[in-house]
């Protein structure tokens, strides 16, 4: 897929997500109660019990590219739902780094680091996202010989977390990014790494 095709596809999916968010009507009438639930520590154990089954099922019955696409889509949907429940975060103007770093820190209690930045004309073109104690990986036993990084779903989450906000705030000179999972803490490393590329 060419860069233009990738950009068109990502933009189409993000615009669909923005339409979903703007029309979102929670099943639970009190939005605050949903926000409280998402902040509860119970979310992580639920994810860590459900996700291994999803991951195993997809990598066992799908070709690698399709498994990666589906895992990333799982993360993309999480970002879409996050903004549906926390619409005020979507409205707050933020710089590039802040969008990537602040939500994981405030809601997943994780500190991401942006390393190996490539900057052109004062704008980040690419970088490596590093995270220790990954939301998915930190609670499982080490898995050796992974062909597909275990936390690939988070690549989709971080990608859509930025893209939805970028296109949702037109005054920020919107850009799109693509995030790919490089390595997982579950494959005998202490941290997870993702490659972020800006698509201008």
Instruction: Give the range of the structural domain holding residue 48, as residue numbers without chain letter.
Output: 3-199
Rounded distance, CA 184 to CA 200, Å?
28
Rounded distance, CA 87 to CA 18, Å?
11
Q: Rounded to two decimals, what is the model's pTM?
A: 0.84
Rounded distance, CA 4 to CA 115, Å?
26
Rounded distance, CA 178 to CA 197, Å?
5
For the chain, what percent of residues have pLDDT higher than 90?
A: 24
Summarised one tens digit per residue, pLDDT across range 73-116 is 999 998 898 888 888 888 777 777 777 777 776 666 567 888 99
Domain of residue 49, CATH code = 3.30.1380.20
Number of domains into which the chain is organized: 1
Rounded distance, CA 71 to CA 179, Å?
13
Are the beta carbons of 182 and 193 closer than 8 angstroms? yes
């Amino acid at each position: 897929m060419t860069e233009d095709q990738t950009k068109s596809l990502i933009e189409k999916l993000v615009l669909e997500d923005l339409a979903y968010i703007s029309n979102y009507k929670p099943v639970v009438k009190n939005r605050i109660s949903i926000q409280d639930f998402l902040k509860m520590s119970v979310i992580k154990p639920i994810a860590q019990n459900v996700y291994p089954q999803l991951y195993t099922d997809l990598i066992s019955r799908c070709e690698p590219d399709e498994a990666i696409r589906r895992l990333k889509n799982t993360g993309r949907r999480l970002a879409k739902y996050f903004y549906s429940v926390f619409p005020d975060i979507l409205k707050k103007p933020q710089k590039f780094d802040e969008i990537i770093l602040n939500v994981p820190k405030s809601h997943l209690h994780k500190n991401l680091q942006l390393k190996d930045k490539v900057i052109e004309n004062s704008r980040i073109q690419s970088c490596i996202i590093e995270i220790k104690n990954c939301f998915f990986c930190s609670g499982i036993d080490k898995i050796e010989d992974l062909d597909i990084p275990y936390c690939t779903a988070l690549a989709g989450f971080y990608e859509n977390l930025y893209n939805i906000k970028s296109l949702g705030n037109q005054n920020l000179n919107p850009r799109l990014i693509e995030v790919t999972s490089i390595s997982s803490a579950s494959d005998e490393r202490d941290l997870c790494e993702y490659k972020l590329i800006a698509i201008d």
